[in-house]
Amino acid sequence: MKHFELKGQIRETGNKAVIKAYRRQGLVPCNLYGLGLKNILFTVVEKDLQGLTHTPESFIVDLVLSDGQKFTAVLHEIQYHPVKDNCLHVDFLAVNEEKPIAIKVPLNITGHAAGVQAGGKFVKLLREVRVCALMKNLPDKLDIDITPLGIGEQIKAGDLKYDNITILTQKDSIICGVKATRNSAAVATEE
């Protein structure tokens, strides 16, 4: 999986006025926890964070803090402003090579479905699935071949099988499928 380096400035615990002052300066308050670490509070520049949040890809984050500490983490939770849609707060979860990591991975659809060639319509319902694996086994994306998909058929999360990766998304979640259209129904009745 790709890595993303993010520089952070250590901060102290503060009240609402202090947090609002950070946000006015273009900084986003962040929190790092996990792996038995004491919570580490820091801020990052909002524009630097957009390379991580404004993309469909998933990353392992290499945090470099102002006091010289370095951590490997994943994005755990992001809070956005309900109107302005800017980032208000980010939680990072510290990870390492030995423990499995649960993270969302984007899906890459390949091939041309047989059902679409027969007049059906391809529908994609999920763009990503949640997986669990060791850091060395985490893929950048999961490829799904839709070539054998006929009209009325679908691929569910439970149908996905990959080596050294466990799919955490509910097994009955539909990823994609081919729906019948009026034209395909008319052709079927003629036959």
Tokens coding 184: 């395909």
**Cα(54)–Cα(167) distance, rounded to whole angstroms?**
24
- Within 13 A of 88's CA, how many CA atoms are on the CB side? 9
pLDDT of amino acid 142: 94
Residues 6+ apart with CB under 8 A from 2: 57, 58, 59, 60, 140
Q: What's the pLDDT at 111?
A: 93
- Compute the average pLDDT of residues 64-90: 93
- The secondary structure element, H or E, covering residue 65 is strand 60-65
CATH level 3 topology of 101-190: RNA Polymerase Alpha Subunit; Chain A, domain 2 (2.170.120)
Name the residue with tokens 């691929």.
155
Q: So what's the pLDDT on residue 12?
A: 86
Query: Where in the chain are all domains bearing CATH 2.40.240.10?
Result: 3-94
Listed in sequence order, the DSSP H helices in 54-169 are 114-117
Condensed to tens digits (0 to 9), the pLDDT of residues 26-38 reads 999 999 999 888 9
Q: What is the pLDDT of residues 140-153, one digit of tens each?
A: 999 999 999 999 99
Higher pLDDT, 105 or 187: 105
Domain(s) of CATH 2.170.120.20: residues in the chain: 101-190
What is the strand order of the sheet 128-133 is part of?
142-145, 101-110, 128-133, 166-167
SS3 101: strand
Topology of domain 3-94, CATH: Ribosomal Protein L25; Chain P (2.40.240)
Please indicate, yes or no, whether the overall pTM of this predicted structure exceeds 0.75.
yes
Percent of the chain, pLDDT > 90? 80
Question: What is residue 112's predicted lDDT score, i.e. its pLDDT?
Answer: 93
Residue 191: is its pLDDT beyond 70? no
Instruction: Flag whether pLDDT at 186 surpasses 70.
Output: no
